[in-house]
Amino acid sequence: MNFNKIHSIFFIGIGGIGMSALARFFMYKQKAVYGYDRTETQLTQSLISEGAHISYTDNTKHIPESIINDKKGSLIIYTPAIAENNKILNYFKENKFVLYKRSEILGFITQWEA
């Protein structure tokens, strides 16, 4: 995966320790970070204060146009803890976005940073 061609990243389930760490990593790498989590926490509040855009409502209207209109420049990362009936997750599936699990992205990062 060529992360240099990625401009925006959407995290589905951004509030956990692993996903929030990835979000911080990508913000450090100057990527636009967006995400959804069902619960506001200190982790999500910190991410917002650092520049992430996070929604707590499972509604596709919170997916930014920059991601909708740029599949190749966008990266969608989800946690398996997200329910199969999640509207945001299903939007990305139905619109043929490539979705990655957190663990897959960690593997790609080790290659990128090597």
How far is CA 54 from each of CA 4, 12, 114, rounded to the nearest angstrom? 23, 10, 30
**Are the CB atoms for 89 and 95 separated by under 8 Å?**
no
Chain segment 58-85, per-residue pLDDT in tens = 999 999 999 999 999 999 999 989 999 9
Domains, the chain, ordered by start: 3-112 (3.40.50.720)
Query: Reduced to 3 states, what is the DSSP secondary structure of residue 37?
Result: coil
- Tens digits of residue pLDDT in 3-24: 889 999 999 999 999 999 999 9
Tell me what pLDDT residue 11 has.
98
Residue 36 carries which side chain, given as an amino acid letter?
Y
In this predicted structure, the answer to whether residue 114 has a pLDDT above a threshold of 90 is: no
pLDDT recorded at residue 110 = 83
What gap in Å lies between CA 1 and CA 20, rounded to an integer?
A: 21
d(CA 20, CA 11): 9
Contact 25, 31 (CB under 8 A): no
Query: Tokens in use for 91?
Result: 């939007």
pTM of the model: 0.94
Q: Flag whether pLDDT at 112 surpasses 90.
A: no
Average pLDDT, the chain: 94
What does the pLDDT read at residue 22? 96
